[in-house]
A and B are shown apart, each in its own frame.
Chain A
Amino acid sequence: MQNKVVENMHPLRYKDLPTATFGELEPFLELCRDVVNKRTASAVIINTVTCLESSSLTRLQQELQIPVYPLGPLHITDSSTGFTVLQEDRSCVEWLNKQKPRSVIYISLGSMVLMETKEMLEMAWGMLNSNQPFLWVIRPGSVSGSEGIESLPEEVSKMVLEKGYIVKWAPQIEVLGHPSVGGFWSHCGWNSTLESIVEGVPMICRPYQGEQMLNAIYLESVWRIGIQVGGELERGAVERAVKRLIVDKEGASMRERTLVLKEKLKASIRGGGSSCNALDELVKHLKTE
């Protein structure tokens, strides 16, 4: 059963299904039942793109028996919006301007993931050993019991500040679109994933929760534009992943595939594209309600 592929959901196996580590399974399954209960809903609007997940979308539509409108990526539907809720540190763009093209690893684990001090130390050593420059987002409070990199030994944090650049929060879309950025070390939240693809940046996947783990599986095995780093984080694994992505040929082909997807996503929101059509159909539907 564990290794059985979920019907029509290749490559997902039953053991990949996102379940809860905390507490009992039953309350979690109850939550799933509440979340999938459509009640009287007229349709489902979803921030994804047909070309990324056409078989899942087909299956979803069949199971729900109501229209599904995949109209993503919403962050480029109206490019003038540029919502920013957290304070962004734009000084990192100046720093990126001084780096070589496609050399920088941008590291951000989103707005919620918490990191252990030990994991942070392995991350720092791995990045330093890879000899690539890196832009690292460390939110205050995201490392247990620490405001930032001061929990690292002094000699390490000194080297980190020489080779890398640290901010509390970055203007992510601008960073991903910068010519110096060669890869995105990410927790694989869906917004980050879409943003990375739209800017044509391949990823190093370090998911922390179920939904992110599904995204990481797709990034690595379906779209083949990401490298997963699983298990306990260890400096050698960090260094290898960075080299595979930035230095090796493998990374170059991942970048090519990301650029192909980038164009597909951009085409989807233009007139006649799948997401553009989905939005128009949704608006028509809203007006008849």
Chain B
Amino acid sequence: MEKRVEKRRIVLVPLPLLGHFTPMMQLGQALILKGFSIIVPQGEFNRVNSSQKFPGFQFITIPDSELEANGPVGSLTQLNKIMEASFKDCIRQLLKQQGNDIACIIYDEFMYFCGAVAEELKLPNFIFSTQTATHKVCCNVLSKLNAKKYLIDMEGIQKLAYYPLCLLSLCST
């Protein structure tokens, strides 16, 4: 029987915001200590500018474009659209160059385009959440709500601010 070759390379895809990027790098570091090597594709425009070197991490710049300021929800949706095609090219290149040795893609839950790419390329993938389990459960509850009915039920309640006002800052990073 052919001996199974261990795949040691992991692609990490952080959301380019400090509070998401930092724990993703910490996860990467924990995985390096367990013997994996880490590749981080980042957009040319939408990235965390860091002066710090991350030893053991390989960063790859992939083409993207600037976001238009259209609110946090719009920015996130747009970011996912902008990144998908170039990310898919990047992974295809990696698979060609490196002889198919990518163990998996681990992506921030807000970079959901990676889930679609991984599905298409049939790559194992894991979702990384930098927030609480409670928050994720709430998102699940919200995802099943009927918008119209919810608005009627919640009439008079001051709407809570949601995704970072400053996701707008994505546009300037």
What is the interface of chain A, defined by CB distance below 8 A to chain B? 1-2, 6, 9, 12, 14-23, 25-48, 52-53, 56-57, 59-60, 63, 68, 70-72, 74-75, 77-78, 81, 83-87, 110-114, 189-191, 208-211, 213-215, 218, 279, 283, 286-287, 289
Instruction: Tell yes or no: B1 within 8 A of A by CB.
Output: no
For B132, the chain A residues whose CB sits under 8 A away are: 46, 48, 52-53, 56, 190, 211, 214-215, 218
Given the known inter-chain contacts A45-B27, A85-B52, please indicate yes or no for A19 contacting B159, CB distance below 8 A: yes
5 residue pairs of the A-B complex, CB under 8 angstroms, read A44-B136, A60-B137, A74-B23, A85-B18, A191-B22
For A59, the chain B residues whose CB sits under 8 A away are: 133, 137
Contact A18 B154 (CB under 8 A): no
Cα A213 to Cα B162 with chains together (Å): 9
Cα A21 to Cα B159 with chains together (Å): 5
What is the interface of chain B, defined by CB distance below 8 A to chain A? 6-7, 10, 17-19, 21-23, 25-27, 29-31, 33-34, 36, 48-52, 54, 71-74, 76-77, 80, 103-104, 106, 109-110, 112, 115-116, 118-119, 124-143, 145, 147, 150-151, 153-154, 156-157, 159-167, 169
The A/B interface has a contact count, at CB < 8 Å, of 261
Contact B136 A36 (CB under 8 A): yes
For A114, the chain B residues whose CB sits under 8 A away are: 165-166
User: Which of A34, A39, A86, A214 makes the CB contact (< 8 A) with B118?
Assistant: A39
Cα A35 to Cα B138 with chains together (Å): 11
Q: From residue A76, how far is it (CB to closest CB) to chain B in Å?
A: 9
Q: From residue A49, how far is it (CB to closest CB) to chain B in Å?
A: 10
User: Which of B26, B104, B118, B154 makes the CB contact (< 8 A) with A74?
Assistant: B26
Cα A56 to Cα B32 with chains together (Å): 29
For A289, the chain B residues whose CB sits under 8 A away are: 7, 103-104, 124
Cα A169 to Cα B127 with chains together (Å): 30
Given the known inter-chain contacts A77-B30, A83-B25, please indicate yes or no for A22 contacting B71, CB distance below 8 A: yes
For B139, the chain A residues whose CB sits under 8 A away are: 32, 35-36
Cα A287 to Cα B6 with chains together (Å): 7
Contact B22 A12 (CB under 8 A): no
Cα A18 to Cα B89 with chains together (Å): 35
Contact A40 B26 (CB under 8 A): no
Q: From residue A101, how far is it (CB to closest CB) to chain B in Å?
A: 29
